[in-house]
Amino acid sequence: MIRNEQETYRQEGYCLFACVLKNRGKFIGFVGLHKVGFDAHFVPAVEISWRLAKEHWNQGYATEAASVIIDWGFTEIGLREIVSFTTQQNKASMRVMEKCGLIRNPNDDFLHPKLKKTDPLAPHILFRIKAPG
């Protein structure tokens, strides 16, 4: 995964970055940007994504890191919009998205094309944020 992300960074100027606790130097997961890798009504798009070890959930780490990455994506990379999406059941990720300023339009919700339509995880909620100005 590290090699793939390094190559993505070389090609795109962004990737998924290691998320490390400042005070202990402990790796707790990753946060970053990547191109959405499937066909949907909102693609092409760049997604803000995070995956943190469970023992580090609900401590503000995902929100803090994602907010920094979103700002960086707009100011340094020049993105005009960033998306994020999750299953309908993932209320914690939806809270992170909202805290980072992403907005949901229910008309954008979709069935994830990599899952069977009957899969209970197929219904996804899409959030978006546009660059300031």
Phi, psi of 85 (to 5 degrees): -150, 160
Q: Which CATH superfamily is domain 2-130 in?
A: Gcn5-related N-acetyltransferase (GNAT) (3.40.630.30)
Residues above pLDDT 90, as percent of the chain: 95
pLDDT tens per residue, range 37-77:
999 999 999 999 999 999 999 999 999 999 999 999 999 99
Are 87 and 121 in contact by the 8 Å Cβ rule? The answer is yes
Collect all residues with Cβ–Cβ distance below 8 Å to 88 and sequence separation of at least 6: 123, 124, 125
Closest CA to 79 of 7, 129, 16: 129
Q: Structural domain boundaries of the chain?
A: 2-130
Collect all residues with Cβ–Cβ distance below 8 Å to 121 and sequence separation of at least 6: 87, 89, 112, 115
Split at pLDDT 50, 70, 90, the class of 24 is confident
Q: pTM score, two decimals?
A: 0.93
